[in-house]
Amino acid sequence: MCTTCGCGHGETKIEGHAYAPRHSHAPGMAPSRMLKIEQDILSKNDAYARENRAFLAGRRVFALNLVSSPGSGKTTLLCKTIEMLKGKSTVAVIEGDQQTSNDAERIRATGAPAIQINTGKGCHLDAHMVGHAMHQLDLPEHSVLMIENVGNLVCPAAFDLGEAHKVVILSVTEGEDKPLKYPDMFRAADLMLLGKCDLLPYLAYDVDRAVESARRVNPDIQVIRFSATTGEGMADWLAWLEQRR
């Protein structure tokens, strides 16, 4: 079991190549020892994140870490974003999933380069994995790097990947109180994208309550409502990207 997040890590693969993730597997270990290992893991991760951040800054690449529950619509959002940025910005993507390369293939179909990281039983990406993937992408200067993390609102909150911002996606098919249930993630994010808003006429969903829940744990979080299907809010999302770049 991973002492940092409680997941059982299997073999991690980056585009088919086996990769040894830096996690500890220690069932039955004393809590004090587990805490020490957790601190060591996060310290090592932060060191790799600093290296990633320096690499990205050297190439003037703007990186975002997209986090959410499974099925929130991250990949659909990315495909729409890439389509709208064609001719304006070069976008590359790092895809994190436990298995399959389905999402990376969807991204490549848009014409954007993508690297798939399969984490096996792992529930999040770490900075070491992302660093390897970044170097494979050969990112051009002034490009945008989107890191689609494994669908999970717990573990990715603790792991800095070297990104400029964490962006959390919450869909209107989820509970309005999800930010209160998973506060660490919403506290770590600078922006909440409230997605699938085209479905609101068919749902008993309280948008104001969802936004209030997010701002109870993070008063500074910005919120953009969007639908990748209808295009609602997509201009606001791209404006946020341009302002942060």
Please report the DSSP string for 182-240 in residue order.
SHHHHHH-SEEEEE-GGGGGGS---HHHHHHHHHHH-TT-EEEE--TTT-TTHHHHHHH
Would 7 be classed as within a structural domain? no
Give the Cβ contact number of residue 184 at 10 Å. Answer: 14
Would 2 be classed as within a structural domain? no
What is the distance between the alpha carbons of residues 126 and 33, in angstroms, rounded to a whole number?
21
Give the Cβ contact number of residue 121 at 10 Å. Answer: 14
Q: For the purposes of burial, counting CB atoms within 10 Å of the CB of 164, is it exposed (0-12), middle (13-18) or buried (19 or more)?
A: middle
Arithmetic mean of pLDDT, 206-234: 98
The predicted pLDDT at position 41 comes to: 74
Would 146 be classed as within a structural domain? yes
Would 138 be classed as within a structural domain? yes
What is the distance between the alpha carbons of residues 226 and 22, in angstroms, rounded to a whole number?
36
The predicted pLDDT at position 122 comes to: 85
> What is the number of domains present in the chain?
1
In the chain, which ranges are E strands?
A: 12-14, 17-19, 62-68, 91-97, 114-118, 144-148, 165-171, 191-195, 222-225
- What are 229-238's pLDDT values in tens digits? 999 999 999 9
Provide the whole-model pTM. Answer: 0.86
The predicted pLDDT at position 18 comes to: 60
Chain-centre distance for alpha carbon 140: 21
Domain extent at residue 112:
12-244
CA distances from 203 to 74, 169, 175, 206 (A): 20, 18, 11, 9
Would 6 be classed as within a structural domain? no
Would 129 be classed as within a structural domain? yes
State how beta strands 114-118 and 191-195 pair. Answer: unpaired
Would 4 be classed as within a structural domain? no
User: pLDDT: is 183 or 26 the higher one?
Assistant: 183
| CATH number of the domain enclosing 72 | 3.40.50.300
Arithmetic mean of pLDDT, 97-105: 94
